Structure formats: C-alpha cells, structure tokens
Structure 1
Amino acid sequence: MTFETPYAFFLFVLVPILAIYQWRSRRRHAINFSSTENMSHAKKSWRIHLLFLLPLTLHLALISLIFTLADPMTEVTKKRQDRQGIAIQVLVDVSSSMDINMKYGEERLTRMDVAKIVVEKFIGGDGDELVGRPDDLIGLITFARYADTIAPLSLAHEALISIVQDVTINTRPNEDGTAYGDATALAAAQLDLLQGDQDIKSKIIILLTDGENNCGNHLPLQAASLAKEWGIKIYTISIQNKPTPERKKTDQGTFFVPPTPSAGDQVLKKMAESTGGVFRLAHDYDSLKSVYKEINKLEKSKLKAISYTDKSPAFSIFALFSILFLFLHSLLKSTILRVSP
C-alpha cells in the first residue's frame, strides 16, 4: 500500500495532544470530596473498567481519519504480453493443373489437397513442426485466370481454416489460367492499406503456384516492384514434379547436373529475391511443409513482456472505520459509559 498524500501523517501530533486534553479535562471536571478514605474500599463496577473505551475509540477515529486524508492506494503489479504480429497474404493457385497428383506420405493426393493441408497447418499449427500463427493477420487470395479475395486479413483463424478447407479448383468455363501477377498486386495493395498500424511488425506475401503467369493485367515483376516499394516481402513456392538430374556427357566422363530452371521458376525467384524473400521448389507434402516451416522461422512475431502497476484507492475502508469509531464513541458516551460532570 502506498499513500498519495503522506504529509497528512504530520497530523499524528494531534493524537498525543488529544490524549493530554482528555486527561486534563477529566481532572478539571472531578468532584471534590472531604475524604476518599472509605472510597478506596468501594467495589468498582464493570462500567468503570470500560471507561478506557471512550478515549480509545476517539483516538482510533482520529487515526483512521488521518489515514483517510493520506489517500491510501493499493498496488497490484501486473504483466501483459505486447505482441507485434505479421500481416500475411496467402496466395493459392486454383487453376486446373492443381488437380495433378503428388505424394502425400504413402498416398497420392492432388496438389490442391496437399496445398490446403499444409496451409491449414501453417495457420493453425500441427502440434509438431508448425507452431501456427496466432498473432498474425492472415488473408487468403486464390487465383486462376482471375484473382479473388476469399478471406480478408483477419485474426479469426478458425474461420479462415474452415474457408481454406472449402477451396476448390476453378472449373468455370473460360476462367482457367494462371494470373499470379494480378494476385500479387491485389495482395500488396491490401497489405499497403495497413500502413501506420503499430501492431504490424512486417508484411509478407506467400505465393504458391504450379505454373507460369499466362494471363492478367499485371506482370509478376511489376507486381513485385509494387510490393518492394511498399515494404512487402514475397515468398514464392513452385510446385513441380520431382526434378530429374540431367545427364551430361563430357570428355571427362558422364555427369548428372540439376535441371535448368524453367522460365516461370526464374520469374518466381526474381520476385522473391527483389523483395527480400526466398524462392523454393516443392514436389511432395514433405518438401512443401518444409518450405512453410522455413518461412515460419524467417518471419517471427515479436513478443515483449510489459510490467505495470495498477493502483486502486483504498481510503474508503479507513473512512468507514473513522465513522464507526466516532459512532461507537458517541453511543458509549451517551449510554452505558455516560459520565456525569
């Protein structure tokens, strides 16, 4: 407990002054007797034994009043965690090529289904390698020929996971294609609207596709340039069949070298590198999950513990005691401990 007005404690000098005044007043109002010899043998009543309560209750009332005037405060130290999350736009290709099967453990699922499983675990965690992103704003944009905002940036991750589970390959006529340039531009524009939000540590785009940009109004590198200008990093993931090393014959012998990256992958790599992100290839569930795990490590939310003291006024209890002691003093003085002058 602390006191906002400690100078009030100087009033404690009134306590001995009050005691001296009561003592002198008691002697001044005494009754004179010619002799007190016989009175010394008189039996004292129980009221006489309780007379000390009159000055005691008055002193306690004064002490309680002084504590009230000192403005007591109770202090409770509390801690809270101040988190600065990341704003993440998840871009998922829903073109017809995402219907191709890929390895999922011992099974084979479509690229679309595997991508949905990994994205769900990236958002909500899997209790193992992916811890989830509870403090981050996450939105979902899908694209084929056109880019669509399926879920705006939000902290409502349970609802977002449910939306991810319902994502399907676009089968509408004349809407097949791959417009990740448009999707990237749309995602960057939505992230830029968060400018000035103090709770956002950084803004990133995670682009997952299995093809080359072949339609739309924005070229991928143009969209990446916008993202860079707005301080947004792009992580690009290309889902492809497992690469087969190319066999090269030379005078020194036969060598196997990594296959030459496709034109689409080279564009995705430039998009990532120009904005400070990374480009990765994935060919099955494990490799795709490892990419999201890597992003998890690279993009961490900021956590800071803040301690603060919460003060609450406590004068009311002392004021109540002061009133009670005064009331008790008056009650005793006018009833069972009434003293005749």
Structure 2
Amino acid sequence: MSWANPEYFWLLILIPFYLGYVIWKHFFKKRASITFSSTAIFDNIPGNYKAKLIWLTPLLYSAAFTLLVTAAARPQLQNTTVEESVEGIDIMLSIDISSSMLAEDLQPNRLIAAKEIAADFIDVRRNDRIGIGVFARESFTVVPPTVDHNLAKQMLETVDLGMVRDGTAIGVGIATAINRLRDSSAESRVIILLTDGMNNAGEIDPITAGELAATFGIRVYTLGVGSRGTAPYPIDDPVFGRRYQNVEVNIDEEMLQQIATQTGGQYFRATTTEELSEIYDVIDQLETSEIEEILYRDYEDRYSLWLLPGIILLITGFLNERWVTGSPLFEL
C-alpha cells in the first residue's frame, strides 16, 4: 500500500484541538441549561442517557474526519511487473575421451566423474546454450549449442571411450568447438576443455587453436584432471581378471595455461572429483549471464474504502447531534 498525497495526514493534528474545544465547552463554558425540544425523537429517553449520547457526536465526527483525511491522502495498491531480458552465453564442453580417462584417481573414474559434474553444470546454466564435443585422436560434435538441456544431458550420457581412435588431439578438440561457436550471435562464447594428458595427435597445434579462439573472441577454460604422480589404471587380464597398474600422470599444464591466458580464460587443475566439481562452480560464477530487468508499476486507487465509511460516520454524527438536542434536521 502506498499514498499519493501523504501530506494530508497533517490535518489529523486538528482532532486533538477539536476534542479539547468540546471538553472546554462542556465543562468550563458557562451554560444556562440544556433544553430539549418537545418534538425531539428521544423525548422518552431519560435525560442522563441523552447526555451520554451527546458525547458520541464528537467521537463520530473525529472518526469521520480521520477516514476522510485518509481518503484524501489517496491510498493506492501498487502492482509491480518485472520483465526480464536475458543475454545468455554459448558454451561448448570439449571432453577428452582417450583411454587414459579410465584411470580411477577420480571416482569412479575420470570419464564418468567428468560426465556427472558436467551434467550438474548444465542444470545450473538455465539461460545458456550448451553444446558438447569430444576428442581423442579425432574430434566431433556430440550436440551443438542448444537451449534443450535435457537433450544435451541425454547425449552426454552416450559419451564413451572408443567413439574415435585413441590418442589426445587437444588442438583438434579446440578447433571443433570453435567451429560451433564462431558464427554465434551471443555476446559471450566459452569453451571448457577437459583433458588428462598431453597433445600427441592431430594436425592442429593446441597453441595455434588457442590463438584462433582468441581471434574470434572465444574464451577457453582449460581443465587438467588427474592426480599428481601416478594413478591406478584398470587392466582386464583374460587369465587373472581385472587388476590395476599405476601409470604416470602427464599433463602439459604449461600449454593449457598458455591457451587459457591468451583467450582470457583460466587454467584449473583437479586431482579429485570434489576439486573438479568446485572448478565448475568457479566457472559458473565467472561466466554470468546478463539479465536486464524492466519494471512496470500499476497503481489502483483504494480511497473509496475510507471515503464511504467516513461519509456514513459524518452523517451519523450529524443525525445524533440533531436527535439528542432536539434540533430540526434542517433550518431555513
């Protein structure tokens, strides 16, 4: 509730003066007597009861004046409508699916952890178009940037090793993601590249791919996943069944750092599943969608809720005064 003319409330300070005058007039001003007309409606009511009804008149007038002043202040009900204009971000998730992603230093393994946390990231980016690409020795797009996040997560579940030949072509993975974002009309375009190794395949150098991304104004966040030192890697032996072998973890952090820096992104290292989840949370905070809010306000006058009762009390007070004093309703 708001008020269009709140200055009218200053008139309420007149009420104490009015009541003070009524008290002074009744108790201190010398009066000869109070007479009642023989035609008064209350002739049959005892005189002391009539005297009590006299005090009802100033109370009715005061209440009526309060309501009328409130109506004059124009109480209004404010209805506010907010219209949001969202400028989302186009994001490509580029995920390494080389055989080393089976290592279990991240639980249950690097690939499954990467997919699960990427799915959570998709859920929180409601205003963005998100696409998914994978790379090993070759690279391809699983799903282009889309606002259909259910579709993106469904396609993410299908990602697995063996979709392309084994190897790690980081430059090709970046180039495939660039190809999906270069014609985007979004103000902000981002690649999140996740890998656990060093570039050992592909015809495109990763640094050159990073320079190309910078040329198109695309930021690249690079994520290196894997423990430091060695990691348990499962091997299926036809005789003894599954066993584990510790393999050395080699991530070209210097190269990933350079790619991120030259595109305006950042490099992160995740040695556990929890750290990987926290990295996605950081990226979520760094890449915020631009939301423009337009406010529409509509005011509905509610003065009638006070005006009508005020008029009724005013008329009631007037009639009470006339009836109790025995005065005619109207004098010519």
* TM-score, normalising length: structure 2: 0.55
- What is the aligned partner in structure 2 of residue 62 from structure 1? 65
Whether 1:5 and 2:5 are equivalent positions in the alignment is: yes
Pairs within 5 Å for 1:102-251: 102-104=103-105, 109=109, 111-120=110-119, 137=128, 139-144=130-135, 145-149=139-143, 152=146, 159=150, 162-163=153-154, 166-169=157-160, 179-186=172-179, 188-189=181-182, 193-195=185-187, 204-209=190-195, 214=202, 220-221=206-207, 223-229=209-215, 231-238=217-224
Alpha-carbon spacing, 1:59–1:165, altered in 2? closer, same or farther (3 Å): same
The change in CA–CA distance for 1:115 and 1:339 in structure 2 (over 3 A counts) is same
Contact 1:236/1:278 (CA < 8 Å) preserved in 2? yes
Alignment of 1:70-109 (within 5 A): 70-72=73-75, 87=89, 89-93=91-95, 97-98=98-99, 101-104=102-105, 109=109
Distance 1:172 1:140 in 2: 17
* Conserved 8 A contact 1:206-1:234: yes
SS at match of 1:50: helix
* Aligned residue pairs, count: 272
The CA distance in 2 between the partners of 1:289 and 1:85, in whole Å, is 30
The 1:330/1:168 distance shift into structure 2, 3 A limit, reads: same
Once the 2 structures are TM-superposed, how far is the Cα of residue 71 of structure 1 from its aligned partner?
A: 3.1
Q: Deviations over 1:205-260 (max 9, x none)?
A: 21124555626xx875555335434554312235689767xxxxxxxxxxxxx999
* Aligned match for 2:278, one of 293, 317, 337: 293
Aligned partner of residue 103 in structure 1, secondary structure: coil
Corresponding residue to 1:339 among 295, 307, 326? 326
Deviation string 1:284-318 (CA, Å, 9 cap, x unpaired) is xx44653553464476357xxxxxxx999664543
Deviation sequence 1:119-153 (CA, Å, 0-9, x none): 345566xxxxxxxx578747231234422435625
For structure 2, which runs of at least 5 residues remain unmatched after alignment? 26-30, 38-44, 79-85, 231-247, 289-296
| C-alpha separation in 2, matches of 1:260 and 1:52 | 96
Query: In the superposition, relative to structure 1, how do residues 223 and 161 fare at CA in structure 2: closer, same or farther (>3 Å)?
Result: same
What CA distance in whole angstroms lies between the structure 1 residues aligned with 2:261 and 2:12? Answer: 74
Residue 322 of structure 1 and its aligned partner are, at CA, apart by: 0.9
TM-score of the pair, normalised by structure 1: 0.54
Q: What letter matches 2:185 in structure 1?
A: L
CA RMSD in angstroms, aligned pairs only: 5.5
Query: Which consecutive residues of structure 1, in runs of 5 or more, have no partner in the other structure?
Result: 34-41, 76-83, 125-132, 196-201, 245-257, 303-309
Contact 1:228-1:274 at 8 Å conserved across structures: yes
Distance 2:14 2:226 in 1: 90
- Alpha-carbon deviation of 1:102? 0.9
In structure 2, do the counterparts of structure 1 residues 181 and 49 end up closer, same or farther at CA, with 3 Å as the change threshold? closer
For residue 52 of structure 1, report the CA deviation from its aligned partner: 2.9
| Secondary structure class of the residue paired with 2:186 | coil
**Structure 1 letter corresponding to 2:113:** V
SS in 1 for 2:54: coil
**Which letter does structure 2 place at the counterpart of 1:166?**
E
Q: 1:146 to 1:243 in 2, by over 3 A?
A: same
In the TM superposition, residue 184 of structure 1 has moved relative to its aligned partner by: 2.7
Q: Residue 142 of structure 1: SS of its match in structure 2?
A: strand
Q: Which amino acid aligns with 1:328?
A: T
Structure 1 residues 67 and 161 mapped into 2: Cα distance closer, same or farther (>3 Å)? same
* Secondary structure of 1:233 counterpart: strand
